Amino acid sequence: MEGNKLVGELNEKFRNSSPEEVIGYFLKDFEGKTIFGTSLGAEDQVLTKMIADIDHGAYIFTLDTGRLFRETYDLLKKTMEKYTVKINIFFPDTSKVEEMVNKHGINLFYDSVENRELCCQIRKVEPSKRAFSGIDAWICGLRRDQSVTRFATQVVEWDDGNDLIKVNPIFKWTENQVWEYIIKNNIPYNLLHDKGYPSISCQPCTRAVKPGEDVRAGRWWWEEPEKKECGLHSSKEK
């Protein structure tokens, strides 16, 4: 696949398309080769509803890092039941987690950016690469205004790190649009959102934010904003 050429053509094709049209295209034209990766965040819950409306059998995956909130597991169960979709759960390699925590400590991520990136690599990036095996297109819920690391997001991008197309159907949506859609469609969402957590990842790396703070201020709050990506969406992998 000539990735960058195809991405350019698809961005032109989808210039005025709705998220549902973009999703529908990939589920049909890349049938069996498209995967949706959900973190069960607000944006991903929107996409789960859109995808389920089109194809209940779409290939969906999530990552269980072993450090998630109880509320996230509850939402995973509820979402699968409500939309009758199968969300395939990928886990990190046990031996790598054991080696990492025994060498660097159980909460190594607070000690340095390198340690945090190592933990994200083992608990998130490597399991996601297994999920991407044999896949050509990855649907995800990135939005431009989520953070400084995502302002240049396009509807379709080439993901060099995973050698596949990354599809961002709601890349132009604002946070308000996401929540209007969730409320209007009675979509289940993580109860932590009601307790001041706009962006939710692993429990030790996520905190509530104060009114007016950036939506990603509660993620890895001890790091500089430019560093705050887990490796799944880093710019060098676009």
CA distance 107 to 117: 12
Question: Looking at beta carbons only, is 126 or 214 nearer to ligand SF4?
Answer: 126
Binding residues for ligand SF4, how many (CB under 6 A)? 13
Please list the residues that pair with 219 across neighbouring strands.
Answer: 206
Residue 50 backbone class (left: φ over 0; alpha: ψ -120 to 50; beta: rest): alpha
Structure-derived torsion over alpha carbons of residues 90, 96, 98, 99, reported in degrees to the nearest 10: -170
Question: Looking at beta carbons only, is 124 or 166 nearer to ligand SF4?
Answer: 124
Q: State the greatest distance between any 2 C-alpha atoms of the chain, in Å, as a whole number.
A: 51
Question: Looking at beta carbons only, is 49 or 219 nearer to ligand SF4?
Answer: 219
Q: What is the DSSP string of 177-232?
A: HHHHHHHHTT----GGGGGT-SS---GGGB----TTS-TTTTBSTTS-GGG---SS
Question: Looking at beta carbons only, is 122 or 156 nearer to ligand SF4?
Answer: 122
110 phi and psi angles, rounded to 5 deg:
-80, -15
232 touching ligand SF4, by CB under 6 A? no
Give the tokens for residue 159: 């993901």
Distance in Å, CB of 129 to ligand SF4, minimum:
14
CA distance 202 to 221: 13
Q: Are strands 156-159 and 164-167 parallel, antiparallel or unpaired?
A: antiparallel
193 touching ligand SF4, by CB under 6 A? no
228 touching ligand SF4, by CB under 6 A? no
Residue span binding ligand SF4 (CB under 6 A) among the ranges 82-90, 114-122, 151-159, 173-181: 114-122
120 touching ligand SF4, by CB under 6 A? yes
Assess whether 202 carries a catalytic annotation: no
Residue of 119, 120, 140, 230 marked catalytic: 230
Distance in Å, CB of 204 to ligand SF4, minimum:
5
170 touching ligand SF4, by CB under 6 A? no
Q: Which of residues 54-93 bind ligand SF4 (CB under 6 A)?
A: 65, 67
Residue pair 173/165 in contact (Cβ under 8 Å)? The answer is no
Number of residues written out for the chain: 238
32 touching ligand SF4, by CB under 6 A? no
Distance in Å, CB of 178 to ligand SF4, minimum:
21
Among 45, 62, 147, 201, binds ligand SF4 (CB under 6 A): 201
109 touching ligand SF4, by CB under 6 A? yes
Binding site for ligand SF4 (CB under 6 A): 65, 67, 109, 116, 119-120, 123-124, 201-202, 204-205, 230
Catalytic annotation, residues:
230
